[in-house]
Amino acid sequence: MKIDPQLTLVEAVNMAMARALQDDPDVIVFGEDVGSNGGVFRATEGLQQRFGDERVMDTPLAETVLTGMAIGMAAQGLKPVLEIQFMGFIYSAVDQIINHAARLRNRTRGRITVPMVLRAPFGGGIHAPEHHSESTEAMFAHMPGIRVVIPSSPQRAYGLLLAAIQNPDPVIFLEPKRIYRMVKQDVPDDGAALPLDVCFQLRDGNDVTLVTWGAMVHETLQAADQLAEQRISAEVIDVATIKPLDMETILKSVAKTGRCVIVQEAARTCSVSADIAANLAEHGLMSLFAPVQRVTGYDTIMPYFRLENHYMPSTERIIAAVQKTMETS
């Protein structure tokens, strides 16, 4: 088994697509500037040169058309991996996603499935203008028939993307661009997929459960380190698959700790954190020593530049939420 030099998250995404293209002739990668240019974040760099322009294709700027093409390919037995340059550009494709990708299995009573992956960089933190900093994962999680997967590290990006490509149903694969190059890990190029539909426990703890996903895992782990200095033991859970949601792991953790803080970058109202909190109220209320706390973005468009850092949850805000929930015994 070959272990590459330490990889960033975006390099691990690239390696997963290369492995999928190598191992499965039905895999097709396409999107705007993904071929000769290697993608706006270089996630597909070198793939066209390696696998040819019939397997890694540049396309026009037409998200609705591209998503329809991916659905048609998938319905006929291919495994398309479509890149949308930024999550803010995905909305014109929502008609195709909701009305066709999500429904074909049900519409045909299982005769046709749609094994497609729609990749999109998402989230803030790179000081980009409007439409380039969206975190609207809850919108897609609300759609029946769609999986929503968000990696938070190079190793999980590699394994989860391979699992998404192998999955027989459509997957929205959201890549937190703020941490594309933040950390490096040893990532074995072994073709091994990680399980979908489960949370990953990143740290064991006894006093409070911290639930998060995507780029916010970074600040949450920092908060857990600082809380340990205050003798507060925090268990950290990376949700990873937003839909379907693995509440069993979260409930088990909260049954142990009795407290929960949920951290998300997305706006607060009607969000994934709200759904997790509702599930805890319905199924884990008797385990809670204190009300669930949420640390979120605000119900506004992501502000530009300097205000962006104020919008996004910080380590300090996470620690303050934990301290608040610890006040109730």
pLDDT score at 4: 56
Reported as a single tens digit per residue, the pLDDT across 180-189 is 999 999 999 9
The answer, yes or no, to whether residue 132 has pLDDT greater than 90, is no
Catalytic residue among 132, 142, 283, 310: 132
pLDDT score at 130: 79
Reported as a single tens digit per residue, the pLDDT across 190-220 is 999 999 999 999 999 999 999 999 999 999 9
> How far apart, in whole angstroms, are the C-alpha atoms of residue 282 and residue 40?
43
> How far apart, in whole angstroms, are the C-alpha atoms of residue 179 and residue 164?
20
Query: Could you tell me where in the chain the CATH 3.40.50.970 domains are found?
Result: 9-179
Provide the CATH number for the domain formed by 200-326 in this structure: 3.40.50.920
Query: Could you tell me where in the chain the CATH 3.40.50.920 domains are found?
Result: 200-326
Distances (CA, A) of 211 to 73, 85, 129, 234: 36, 28, 29, 10
Instruction: Examine the residue annotation and report whether 127 is marked as an active-site residue of this protein.
Output: no
CATH number 3.40.50.970 given to 9-179? yes
What is the pTM for the complete model shown? 0.96
The answer, yes or no, to whether residue 126 has pLDDT greater than 70, is yes
pLDDT band at 128 (very low <50, low <70, confident <90, very high): confident
Mean predicted confidence (pLDDT) in 65-94: 96
Share of the chain above pLDDT 70, in %: 98
Reported as a single tens digit per residue, the pLDDT across 248-301 is 999 999 999 999 999 999 999 999 999 999 999 999 999 999 999 999 999 998
Residues 6+ apart with CB under 8 A from 41: 10, 121, 177, 180
Instruction: Give the tokens for residue 214.
Output: 């995507």
The answer, yes or no, to whether residue 226 has pLDDT greater than 60, is yes
Reported as a single tens digit per residue, the pLDDT across 258-267 is 999 999 999 9
